Chain A
Amino acid sequence: MRSRYGRLIVLVLLLALGMLIAALHNRAVEDNRPSIVATTVRAVLSPFQSAVHSVVKTGHNAKRSVRGRSRVMRENDNLRIELKQLTKENARLREEHAENIRLRKLLEFKKSYPTQLLTAQVIAMRPSQWHNTCTIDRGWRDGVRKTDPVITARGVVGQVIDVGSNVSQVLLLTDQASGLGAIVERSRVTGICQGQQARTLVLNYLDKDADVKKDDLVVTSGIGQVYPKGLRLGRVVKLRGAGGYMKSAEIRPSVQFDQLEEVAVIVRKAES
């Protein structure tokens, strides 16, 4: 191992083993089977991940409580100065009204998608600079399958790309490998919505004369049969390349990926 050739042989063997593992993993993913290597590694990491998650969560809660306390103190000061009890009451009513709207939307959303929705917690987010993926705490034991769409009440999050027994990897919409059929809700113009590694999406392959405007809502078209039709993707923020044969539109996603905590997986029934 100490000799120069010995070291090179170790390197070559490791690289060959790496390629073999990659090939086996890809085969397992293609066949919709859990990858043994990835599942084993995740199982070993799992208790340590939980420990780190607890520490991170405690830190977050502490930060929130400090922020929350200072905010409440400011509010109290303002209230003492203004002495307007009515304003406070009004704020409470407004909050309840907003909550009411949110809950009603969620109820309507659930009614409009009769397929089984499986709620899941996001337990890991973007573990690499080059890939936009996250991990959820549901796997094949819960009925999750590869390519199942993942959503929130705000819109599409992405799709499942790898399923373990208790966890699954989700490819986020913003990843450059992500692409799906999309439609502009107002004008019914269709295109392909793709991730571009940044915080925005891009709606490609639009005709140069296509009726697309800023602030237009873009939803899933249902083409490709992965995502149900009509799920929110985002709003147009910018139009690009209007001088050529085709143009594209930059889209701000409806989902705030930085604040993703709970999601829902649209579980398909297994084909008999």
Chain B
Amino acid sequence: MKRTLIAIFLLIVAGALQSRAADQMKISGSAPDFLMAATIAMGLLLDPALGAVFGFGAGLVQASIVGLSFGGFIASRTLLGFGVGSLRLWFFQENPLVLVAACLLGTIACEGLLFLIEPVRSSSAAIAQLPMESVYNAVLALVCYFLMRRAMEPRRKELEVRS
């Protein structure tokens, strides 16, 4: 229950930040994607199915605030949550390098997927901003991951005791 509430709160806060603050936080033309960073962080903390559910929510929120590409946003974010969750399940180690790699690859894969689902006509500008956006998201995802892990820690400890 606590995990669900934390996840919903994170989703809402990330959505609010995405709509009101992301454009103000541009660094050399690239803006952060709070919802994507939150999806990556939650994917790393939860299992693939729950990661996909969180990604679904993130896609829905993002599509609602953008007002376009509902299908593209929902599908790409759902698959991102599932993919990062699977990564954790198969070969995730709590190593900062693995975390950074997961965040970078997650952003690139997710944006690539959205591009495949809904190609933009003049993609060069958007693609040029992708590396910087990935780094930006990776930093945000890491911060979010450690904060969320801390918030969910009692639950994890409880599970360990049970097992």
Contacts and interface: CB of A to CB of B under 8 A. Distances in A.
Interface of A: 1-2, 6-7, 10-11, 14-15, 17-19, 21-23, 25-26, 37-38, 41-42, 44-45, 48-49, 51-53, 55-56, 60, 123-131, 133, 135, 161-162, 169, 171, 176-177, 196-198
Contacts of A52: 16-17, 19-21
A7 B129 CA distance: 33
Interface string B37-72: 000000000011100110010011111111111110
Interface in B7-49: 12-13, 15-24, 30-31, 33, 47-49
A11 B51 CA distance: 10
B19 A127 contact: yes
B70 A11 contact: no
Contacts of A26: 70
11 contacts: A2-B47, A7-B47, A11-B78, A18-B75, A45-B64, A52-B20, A124-B19, A128-B62, A130-B69, A131-B69, A197-B125
B145 interface: no
B68 A161 contact: yes
A17 B56 contact: yes
A235 to B, nearest CB: 20
Contacts of B115: 130
Given A45-B12, A48-B13, A38 B52 contact: no
B13 A130 contact: no
A204 to B, nearest CB: 11
Interface of B: 12-13, 15-24, 30-31, 33, 47-49, 52-53, 56, 59-71, 73-75, 78-79, 82, 111, 114-115, 118, 120-123, 125-126, 129, 133
Interface secondary structure of A, over-half rule: helix
A77 to B, nearest CB: 31
B23 A197 contact: no
Contacts of A129: 30-31, 33, 111, 126, 129, 133
Max count, chain A CB within 10 A of own CB: residue among B21, B59, B68, B74 = B68
B121 A196 contact: yes
Contact of A14 (B52, B66, B114, B133): B52
Contacts of A176: 120-122
A42 B30 CA distance: 25
Contacts of A56: 20-21, 24
Max count, chain A CB within 10 A of own CB: residue among B19, B62, B120, B121 = B19
B116 to A, nearest CB: 12
A38 B125 contact: no
Contacts of B13: 48
Contacts of A128: 33, 62, 66, 73
Contacts of A25: 63, 70
Nearest to A25: B70
A125 B133 contact: no
A49 B23 CA distance: 14
Contact of B71 (A19, A37, A133): A19
Given A15-B75, A53-B20, A197-B122, A127 B30 contact: no
A130 B125 contact: no
Nearest 10 pairs between A and B by C-beta?
A169-B67, A18-B74, A22-B71, A48-B16, A22-B70, A124-B19, A41-B64, A162-B67, A10-B49, A52-B20
Contacts of B52: 7, 10-11, 14
Given A176-B121, A197-B123, A7 B49 contact: yes
Given A22-B71, A41-B61, A56-B21, 4 more contacts: A7-B82, A15-B79, A48-B13, A198-B125
